[in-house]
Amino acid sequence: MDIVEVAARKLADGYPVLLHDGVDRENEVDIVYRADVVTPDVVRNIRRIAGGLLCFVTRYEFGKILGIELQSRLLRKLALDKLVKLPSYGDEPAFSLWVNHVKVRTGIRDVDRSLTVRELAKIVSLIEKGHLEEACRKFYSDFYSPGHVPILLGRIGERRGHTELSLMLAEIAEISPALVICEILGDSTDVPTMDELKRLADKLNTVLVSGLEVEKYYVKNVVKK
């Protein structure tokens, strides 16, 4: 079986997948989960294994349905253009709002972030089913901002970061475009080596897959359908 197909199956079955964006970009590996399986234990494992910023991922067009926009564009509307700069990899970041679910205690605890993530996944599911008014009503009644979970809005075809690559993988897996990603930082000042990451993938009963492999598979088997 193709490595991308294995990764997609693992993701669909609730396992994490390790996703490398490429040496021409951040040259980082993110751990990726489908959002609806994120329990407090999953957040704890992500925090201990990865150590980066835990983010919720969905499609840009879903964000537009909810009336939210990329953070950089919001800053421009607020005349804060001087703060908007492109990162080293050269394109506009995927960050939108940071939110908490209304039922959390502080927002940052494992139980809190897992609740926020799972409830965001329910909003995405409502949009997928065409229940747009209900999705918007539930989003604005059940969440508040600023919070502790950043929402990333992916733009497949316009950008090629972990946000978009994870969404491609979700589409290959035929699961909802509602994911959690987090950078794997390792224990030193540098990122882990590929050998270390492959050993981690084995330990987690999953695979390490490259963004280039995901993108090629997506273009060949999804876009061309």
Q: Which of 5, 89, 92, 221 is catalytic?
A: 89
CA 61 to the chain's CA centroid: 15
CA 221 to the chain's CA centroid: 22
Q: Which of 45, 128, 144, 148 is catalytic?
A: 148
Q: How far apart are CA 127 and CA 186, in angstroms?
A: 36
Q: How far apart are CA 42 and CA 16, in angstroms?
A: 9
User: Is residue 16 within 8 Å of residue 28, measured between CB atoms?
Assistant: no
Rounding to the nearest 10 degrees, give the CA dihedral for residues 87, 52, 144, 131. Answer: 90
- Is 148 annotated in the active site? yes
Beta bridge partners of 150: 98
Q: Which of 21, 26, 28, 30 is catalytic?
A: 30
- Is 218 annotated in the active site? no
Q: How far apart are CA 148 and CA 41, in angstroms?
A: 17
84 contact partners, CB below 8 Å, separation of at least 6: 72, 75, 76
- Is 136 annotated in the active site? no
Q: Which of 119, 183, 217, 218 is catalytic?
A: 183
Q: From 176, 181, 60, select the one nearest 123 (Cα to Cα).
A: 176
Angle at 175 between CA 174 and CA 177, to 5 degrees: 115
Q: Which of 20, 26, 28, 55 is catalytic?
A: 55
- AA identity, residue 217: Y
CA 24 to the chain's CA centroid: 20
Catalytic residue annotation: 30, 55, 89, 100, 148, 183
